[in-house]
């Protein structure tokens, strides 16, 4: 029937309906669902809890030569919170409208990719013969807590003997949507620094001209940060060759301190979310040290997160066989790739740190970027096109012969 829904779309919508939403994700239901998916693709399956109650589901399709470095297809199961009053439809209802747009939290970030992996492998298995067999082992990891930085998910998993035995040579993970015909592939990512700067000063009565106050120091810190923010924005706007991942973004996200209007406080604090390109880590640290010194004595910095990862994956043609295999498969599918530094943060920071090639790739083009936004959606045709692409990419990587 022409109006029958594609089984892959149905599966995708069922996954969206599992409420793995922070801060209380339903990992139990999700794990049971994924164990069923593992059976469908004929994969070995294990559940690893590096932290109790936060399971990583790992599926394995052994290759003909399991001694060769394996392919890892990674996705995260948790999604960010929602504000239902701002949504057209239930954010966990997976409503599909007449245009084929599927609404739900995780449709772009990143339950789509996890299901695209699975549906591509189901298709290859059904085709049988050479299509259903791989030279290298293929692992699928469905990890928790990525939306909280991955500290209790992938960060712990890569330290386990289970992960070491997986012998990963290359990993695929999330990217984000593209509003054009091209698709983005990310070979590195900016480093998130969550900085709380504490400014101590002379307390006293609000009617006086006190010296060395916390407010004066705080103002200097804020002015320094925001001036650099404006500088980076102008640099991005002036150079068409730059993308968001090539510059440092700064946003003031917290202000703390004060007791009442007529009391000059002994301390005020300001928090910033800063995202730094891999090549700019040392330069920004020098700026931060200078700004704090210029603002006055006693200023200290506390970090909610301070990632210092410089590693990037080589995406130069002819220099990385994993990249050559990936890009050739995309070219075969008429996919135009745009290579970029990911502007936010993903679990691939933990993978690249181990020296493993990693590509961030969510095959969604001609699609508004709605990750973490209200009314997140993905069109079913775009979703199914992604399945087609992975059905070409996965064998290209898994059947790549040894080199060196």
Instruction: For residue 96, list its beta bridge partners.
Output: 102
CB 107, CB 14: distance < 8 Å = no
Token pair listed for 178: 């593209």
Burial of 358-395, coded b for 16+ CB within 10 Å and e otherwise, reads: bbbbbbbbebeebbeeebbbbbbebbbbbbbbbbbbbb
Give CA–CA dist 238/235, Å, rounded.
5
78 is a catalytic site residue: yes
Q: Alpha-carbon distance 139 to 69, whole Å?
A: 11
Q: Determine the 3-state secondary structure of 237 from DSSP.
A: helix
Task: Say if strands 54-61 and 138-143 run parallel, antiparallel, or are unpaired.
Answer: antiparallel
Catalytic residue, chosen from 101, 109, 145, 146, is 146
- Phi/psi class of residue 202: alpha, beta or left (left: φ > 0; alpha: ψ in -120 to 50)? beta
Q: Give the CA-trace dihedral at 216, 222, 224, 230, to 10 degrees.
A: -150
Dist. CA 127–CA 136, nearest whole Å: 18
DSSP 216: H
**In sequence order, which residues have a C-beta less than 8 Å from that of residue 107 and are 6 or more positions away?**
16, 94, 376, 377, 378
**CB neighbours of 263 closer than 8 A, spacing ≥ 6?**
203, 204, 205, 206
DSSP 8-state code for residue 79 = B
Please report the sign of the dihedral spanned by the C-alpha atoms of residue 331, residue 337, residue 341, residue 345: negative
- Active-site annotation, residues: 78, 146
């Amino acid at each position: 029937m022409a109006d029958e829904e594609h089984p892959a779309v149905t599966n995708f919508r069922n996954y969206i309906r599992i409420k793995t939403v922070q801060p209380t994700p339903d990992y139990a239901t999700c794990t049971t669902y994924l164990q069923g998916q593992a059976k469908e693709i004929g994969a070995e399956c294990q559940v690893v809890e590096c932290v109790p109650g936060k399971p990583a589901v790992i599926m394995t399709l052994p290759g003909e030569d399991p001694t060769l470095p394996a392919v890892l297809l990674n996705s995260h199961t948790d999604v960010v919170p929602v504000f239902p009053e701002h949504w057209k439809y239930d954010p966990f209802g997976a409503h599909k409208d007449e245009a084929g747009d599927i609404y739900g939290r995780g449709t772009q970030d990143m339950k789509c990719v996890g299901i695209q992996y699975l549906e591509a492998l189901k298709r290859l298995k059904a085709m049988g013969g050479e299509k259903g067999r791989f030279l290298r082992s293929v692992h699928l990891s469905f990890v928790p807590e990525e939306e909280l930085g991955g500290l209790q998910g992938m960060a712990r998993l890569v330290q386990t003997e289970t992960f070491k035995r997986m012998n990963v040579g290359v990993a695929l993970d999330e990217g984000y949507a593209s509003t054009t015909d091209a698709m983005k592939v990310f070979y590195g990512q900016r480093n998130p620094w969550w900085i709380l700067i504490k400014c101590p000063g002379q307390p006293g009565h609000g009617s006086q001209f006190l010296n060395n106050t916390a407010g004066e120091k705080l103002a200097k810190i804020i002015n320094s940060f925001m001036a650099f923010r404006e500088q980076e924005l102008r640099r991005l706007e002036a150079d068409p060759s730059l993308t968001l991942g090539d510059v440092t973004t700064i946003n003031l996200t917290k202000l703390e301190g004060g007791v009442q209007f007529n009391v000059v406080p002994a301390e005020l604090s300001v928090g910033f979310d800063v995202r730094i390109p891999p090549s700019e880590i040392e330069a920004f640290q020098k700026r931060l040290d200078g700004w704090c010194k210029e603002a006055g004595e006693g200023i200290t910095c506390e970090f909610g997160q301070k990632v210092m990862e410089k590693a990037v994956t080589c995406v130069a043609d002819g220099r990385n066989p994993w990249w050559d295999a990936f890009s050739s498969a995309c070219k075969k599918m008429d996919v135009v790739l745009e290579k970029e530094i990911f502007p936010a943060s993903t679990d691939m920071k933990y993978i690249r740190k181990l020296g493993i090639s990693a590509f961030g790739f969510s095959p969604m083009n001609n699609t508004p970027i709605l990750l973490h936004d209200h009314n997140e959606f993905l069109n079913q045709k775009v979703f199914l096109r992604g399945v087609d692409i992975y059905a070409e990419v996965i064998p290209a990587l898994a059947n790549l012969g040894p080199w060196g």
